[in-house]
Amino acid sequence: MAMQPRLLLEEARRLASRLRPRLWGGFRVLRRRGRRRSRRSAARPRPALVRATAWAGALTVLALLMPLLLVEPRPLQRAASPGSERTAQVAPDVAPPEAGAAEQVRVYLSGTRQVERVALEQYVRGVIAAEMPSDFELEALKAQAIAARTYIVRRLLAQDASGAPDGADVTDTVAHQAYVPLAEMERRPQDAVAKLNRAVNETKDIVLTYKGEPIMAAFFSTSNGYTENAEDYWTNPVPYLKSVSSPWDQAISPRYTEQVEMGVSTVLAKLGLSANAVPALSRLLDSSNGTNHTRPEPSKHDSKLSAAAFSKDIRILSHTPGKRVEQVRIGTHRFTGREVREKLDLRSSAFEWKMEGDKVLITTFGFGHGVGMSQYGAQGMAKEGASAEKIVTYYYKGVSLDKASKLLTLNLKN
């Protein structure tokens, strides 16, 4: 068996150290003898001395060059420190998701009206690129990847293509999940794409299940401090979509609160009401269309009267466990908080309102329907050190982590 380069180098050094004193000692003896004979044989050639000197020089050169002849022609590498070895073991996987995976998703691109067929994990990357800022914490992005993957696997298993054109499984809009196409992804900054790749690769194949079935992994932007029970927004109860506190959103989300000002006539039109159905609003409209409408601003007296009338004819009757508006009465009509949110195009069904002259000032808290995982809540948890698994199991109660490939394979067999 050939010796390793390091062992050969050590052997060459030992040989050189043994030869060096002998060679130099022999050379000195020959040199002294040469001086004594110099007078007698100055005119004669000295073949023995020449040969001995040449041999000694050759051996010395050989000893010095031996390490270079025995060692491979490449620089020696330093042994990695324990710290660098650990870093190498946990090096982030930032390669793009596999394009040739068996499971494909057909995405209808609303901008080009074409269908893009992509591998499942590529689709998940496109979703988190569209649904969550790439500068979020990695664990928050991983939680989003798990939710996005669960959503599409649930649809594929159920062969549910509702809301998508023929030949597509989903659209690239929020009607399903927002999605960034492959061509646009190539134009994104490389560091951002690498981070998305890592979030997808480190959660590859992971989905959330409840009693063996993929869950409805609902998510939204920002809570009002709590998430909502599914039955309080969508009527039907879902065991894993229950209200939980989400205290992180208020501190970090730029979408936590918003104020909207609307004219009385705008509110009535959007709610589909006539002025006669809301006496307080009707009186305000009559006032603005009469002698008072020429005033640039209502008087303080008018404002107090309108606020009192408004509080009498428009009142929030109840709230949900998630602290959102459950029922509101407007004149002779009742609406759910969701209906008001959707009709008035508000950010959230957690709102409060008041009159300012002939204007309605509405303040909302949070952004989105409030059911499932709060994205800014996930970010807040990740900032505190929570893992993706801890985040998703906090917002989705009683769920388990499973493999998409297993569920899809079982579905094919059945």
pLDDT of residue 75: 39
DSSP assignment string, 228-293: B-HHHHHSS--TT----B-TTHHHH-TTSEEEEEEEHHHHHHHHT--GGG-HHHHHHHHHHHTGGG
pLDDT digits (tens, 9 = 90+) for 53-111: 555 555 554 555 554 444 444 433 333 333 333 333 445 667 777 665 668 999 999 99
pLDDT of residue 134: 94
Confidence check: pLDDT of 248 > 70: yes
Q: What is the mean pLDDT of the chain?
A: 81
Q: How many helices (H) and strands (E) does the chain have?
A: 16, 14
pLDDT of residue 153: 97
Which residue in 274, 307, 285, 143 sits closest to 219, CA to CA?
A: 143
**Model pTM?**
0.73
DSSP assignment string, 73-133: SSPPPPPPPHHHHHHHHT----SPPPSS-S-EEEEEETTTTEEEEEEHHHHHHHHHHHHS-
- b/e burial code for range 23-51 (CB count within 10 A of at least 16 → b): beeeeeeeeeeeeeeeeeeeeeebeeeee
Position with higher pLDDT, 19 vs 411:
411
